[in-house]
A and B are shown apart, each in its own frame.
Chain A
Amino acid sequence: MLYDPPARMKDTRIAPNRIQGVEEAPLQGELMLYDPKTGRFFVLNRTMAFVWSRCDGQRSVSDIAGELLAAFAGVDEARGRADVDQALAELRTLGLTADPEAVTSG
């Protein structure tokens, strides 16, 4: 069964934003993160890293999903969108993205 995100996250217009001050470095396909405010480390897999890197407060969820589908050939659209939703929900739960705002322009 595909991931079913909470209602708020279903709004594909919102533009998630990475929290500030997180140190990051890639390592063999994974992305290492360190949040100095909490002292916690995170290791993101490829999909999570892809989504994290695009959480810039400008791209909407829909934009990110579109970029994921373009970047990973052969990924089924429903699967890709579900992966993005799940990644965003996890990033939010981990405190790595700030509360997203709906994209109102552009």
Chain B
Amino acid sequence: MSVHPASLSPEASFVCRALERSPPQDLLPLARALDWRACLDGTGRLLWPSLHHALLERLPPGTVPEWAAARLADAARASALLHLQRRSELRVLLAGLGDAGIPVIVLKGMAIASVLYADPALRPMVDIDLLVPAADASRARGVLQDLGLRVPERWQVRPRTGPAAKDEADKPLERPGTPLLVELHGRLEWMRAPFAYDLEAAWARSVTVALGPDLRARVLSPEDTLLHLGMHLSSYHAFEHGLRDLLDVTLLVERHSFDWIALAAAWIGQGTAGWMRLTLALARDLLGARVPDTLLAALPGPADMDAAEALACERLWSAPLDQVPPAVATVLGAGGPGAGAQLALGRLNPARPGDGLRAALRRAAVDVKTRVPRYVAALAGGHLGPRSIRRAIALRRMQRRLSELMSPTEIASGPPAAQPLE
């Protein structure tokens, strides 16, 4: 199966074509008939700078309604400013880790923004992701804290047990007074059973590139970057970051001449081939990524690939996930009023196993400080209506269904690869 943009909503189809760099004569009629509000709401802010750039290049002035053009331009400018701040922070972090003799690989957004995009500001990101050798992770965390980074208050109060628990060593760090989050990894997040990925070999293949003026850093090799981007957006995040991450993959495929035969063999050996096939098929079908048909035919997939692609497609257009507070979708989508009430009470109860009274009170205070404004903003933005909430719950269920469809058992029971790549 292939997902044809024509089977998408007009807004999704338009965005795909704009990012794919369709000729202006193809885009113009779509743009004139577009529901721009639905387009921007559905796209999600992470894609707005790229969309802004694409529309400036592709459409005559005046085609995009003034208010929409202003929102896109503001997003592009904000992204540019934040990128400068992140780049400055990255210099400090790399210098500090370098002084401590800790090797570091810059991952994801910061690693690819300068390399794949015409302007790094076109690739918004939430945090700076750094990979260090697992053995050095604790020392590296100490270095970052010595440089002034701290665990954000909202993370400090995470309970020690339960679904929201997070190990102290895995909590992100933040430069106080800035929106800069830094995540330090000893391994790649998607690396879990059953995937067999040799991270040491990835370290050996890593390369040094320029990430800005006078800023050189080690990044994963193009092959490992493709795998990491693909697995992170699909297996780990179930396509919830929308088209931005698929655009990363598309640009990387455009930029490098990959040895697809070697990659297919490696992915099959690692157990990552099913997710990579799904990712690359969507990148090809939606954004025109130059992925050979023979590669897709040679990779194993689940028995019901059509259903997996359809779910992934829905999730790609899942910006409402960013707008409905996750707790609302969790509680209301718990699978029945009893389970929902239990979850809600659990969240409201500040005293949890493993916590003292002081920690519980502190968490309650921080919850009020950080969550209430979020709920108010969601309410004011009209994202707490029944329709938005239903959509957010449905998207969560799609995530679970997608994971089931892509399980190793399903992949193993799927049709054999049509033909080996030669």
* Interface set, chain A 72-94, CB cutoff 8 A to B: none
B81 adjacent to A32 (CB under 8 Å): yes
Ordered nearest first, which 8 A-B pairs have the shortest CB separation?
A34-B84, A23-B84, A36-B88, A27-B80, A32-B80, A23-B88, A41-B81, A34-B85
Known: A23-B88, A32-B81. A39 touches B177 (CB 8 A): yes
* Interface set, chain B 179-225, CB cutoff 8 A to A: 212
**Chain A residues within an 8 Å CB radius of B88:** 21, 23, 34, 36
Q: Does A56 contact B (CB under 8 A)?
A: no
The chain A residue with its CB closest to the CB of B56 is A28
Known: A39-B177, A39-B178. A24 touches B84 (CB 8 A): yes
**Chain A residues within an 8 Å CB radius of B83:** 25
A27 adjacent to B84 (CB under 8 Å): no
**Chain B residues within an 8 Å CB radius of A33:** 84
**What is the bound-complex CA distance between A43 and B77, given in angstroms?**
9
Tally chain B residues at the interface, Cβ within 8 Å.
Answer: 19
**Interface CB pairs A-B, < 8 A, 30:** A21-B88, A23-B84, A23-B85, A23-B87, A23-B88, A24-B84, A25-B80, A25-B83, A25-B119, A25-B120, A25-B121, A26-B119, A27-B80, A27-B121, A28-B73, A32-B77, A32-B80, A32-B81, A32-B84, A32-B121, A33-B84, A34-B81, A34-B84, A34-B85, A34-B88, A36-B89, A39-B178, A41-B81, A41-B85, A43-B77
**Chain A residues within an 8 Å CB radius of B212:** 23
**What is the bound-complex CA distance between A59 and B208, given in angstroms?**
34
B contact face: mostly helix, strand, loop, or mixed: helix
Residue from A23, A26, A36, A43 whose CB has the most chain B CB atoms within 10 Å: A23
Known: A39-B177, A39-B178. A27 touches B119 (CB 8 A): yes
**Chain B residues within an 8 Å CB radius of A24:** 84
Q: Please list the residues of chain A having a beta carbon within 8 angstroms of any beta carbon in chain B.
A: 21, 23-28, 32-34, 36, 39, 41, 43
Minimum Cβ distance to chain B for residue A74 (Å): 23
Residue from B73, B84, B87 whose CB has the most chain A CB atoms within 10 Å: B84
Knowing that A32-B84, A36-B85, A41-B84 are A-B contacts, what are 9 other residue pairs whose CB atoms are under 8 Å apart, sorted by A's residue number?
A23-B84, A23-B212, A24-B84, A25-B120, A26-B119, A27-B76, A32-B77, A33-B84, A39-B178
**Chain A residues within an 8 Å CB radius of B80:** 25, 27, 32
* Interface set, chain B 80-133, CB cutoff 8 A to A: 80-81, 83-85, 87-89, 92, 119-121
**What is the bound-complex CA distance between A24 and B83, given in angstroms?**
10
**Chain A residues within an 8 Å CB radius of B177:** 39
Residue from A26, A28, A33, A43 whose CB has the most chain B CB atoms within 10 Å: A28
Residue from B56, B81, B121, B177 whose CB has the most chain A CB atoms within 10 Å: B81
**What is the bound-complex CA distance between A23 and B120, given in angstroms?**
13
Minimum Cβ distance to chain A for residue B211 (Å): 12
Minimum Cβ distance to chain B for residue A78 (Å): 33
**Chain A residues within an 8 Å CB radius of B56:** 28
Minimum Cβ distance to chain B for residue A36 (Å): 4
